[in-house]
Amino acid sequence: MKKLPKTMNLTLKVWRQKGPKDKGHFESILAKNISVHMSFLEMLDTVNEQLTFEGKDTIAFDNDCREGICGMCGAVINGRAHGPEKATTICQLHMRKFSDGDTIAIEPFRAKAFKVVKDLVVDRSNFDKIIQTGGYISVNTGGAPDANAIPIPQEIAEKAMDAAACIGCGACVAACPSASAMLFVSAKVSQLALLPQGRPEAAKRALRMVKMMDACGFGNCSNHRECENACPKEISIVNIARMNREFFKASFFSSEK
């Protein structure tokens, strides 16, 4: 078995952009003595420490849980949203996936609907706007109901859970040539449409969320399937087909316009 070096020296080509109006540019930064056991974000922490010692502006990037569950982190690494490892967010990506001497290009998620705030930080509040239009159910749930009160076939429950795994990171948008948000929206529509609790508002939900997605400036699905490929939670495009069915059904039969 090939023995890994304990540390690596890397050249980072990092996108630096002071604010939304700045043109932005790539900057070369040397990342020295990077442990192979670090996560990608820990590597950026180390580089930022070094930049602080040198009195330079640190690289701005988003993060929170660092466990692949909050959806806050995200960047395009060597042309791939969330980097080279499949089904992995950059907070869970380890530096052993790279080699000593590598040059790594790091850019923000790029899409008209995701404005760059600074460096690698983009504004994903358009996702919040979409959720606010219908990504919920309007019931007073009261106390915790008995788990068996509404029997749901296991296969359906599994499908709903798979859709609910979407963490709202936006990699699907960054990977899509049309910057479409359909994988994200379809996951949010599906997780509720599949369950009886989500059915009463299903038509309204599909119409409103799709309308808001368009209003926010996301593109249309172009069937490239890059979204599915880039998704760290392996959300399937089957959800897009389900959302389209929900949308067309609602367009014909719902009083909501």
Contact residues for ligand FES, defined by CB under 6 A: 63-66, 68-73, 89, 91, 167
Whole-number Å distance between alpha carbons of 75 and 230? 11
Q: Which residue shows structure tokens 């922490």?
A: 45
Rounded to a whole number of angstroms, the minimum distance from the CB of residue 17 to ligand FES is: 21
Residue 172 touches which of ligand SF4, ligand FES, none (Cβ within 5-8 Å per kind): ligand SF4
Residue environment code for 103-122, b if the CB has 16+ CB neighbours within 10 A, otherwise e: ebebbbbebebbbbbbbbbb
Q: Which is nearer to ligand FES, 91 or 203 (CB)?
A: 91
Ramachandran region, residue 96 (left: φ > 0; alpha: ψ -120 to 50; beta: rest) = alpha
Q: Which is nearer to ligand FES, 170 or 219 (CB)?
A: 170
Residue 70 touches which of ligand SF4, ligand FES, none (Cβ within 5-8 Å per kind): ligand FES
Contact 102, 11 (CB under 8 A): yes
Whole-number Å distance between alpha carbons of 36 and 43? 9
Q: Which is nearer to ligand SF4, 166 or 193 (CB)?
A: 166
Rounded to a whole number of angstroms, the minimum distance from the CB of residue 98 to ligand FES is: 18
Q: Which is nearer to ligand FES, 73 or 116 (CB)?
A: 73
Query: What's the full length of the chain, in residues?
Result: 257
Residue 242 touches which of ligand FES, ligand SF4, none (Cβ within 5-8 Å per kind): none
Rounded to a whole number of angstroms, the minimum distance from the CB of residue 201 to ligand SF4 is: 21
Rounded to a whole number of angstroms, the minimum distance from the CB of residue 67 to ligand FES is: 6
Whole-number Å distance between alpha carbons of 81 and 232? 9
Contact residues for ligand SF4, defined by CB under 6 A: 166-172, 183-184, 187, 231-233, 235
* Non-local CB neighbours of 32 within 8 Å, separated by 6+ positions: 9, 50
Q: Which is nearer to ligand FES, 89 or 190 (CB)?
A: 89
Whole-number Å distance between alpha carbons of 202 and 193? 6
Rounded to a whole number of angstroms, the minimum distance from the CB of residue 134 to ligand FES is: 24
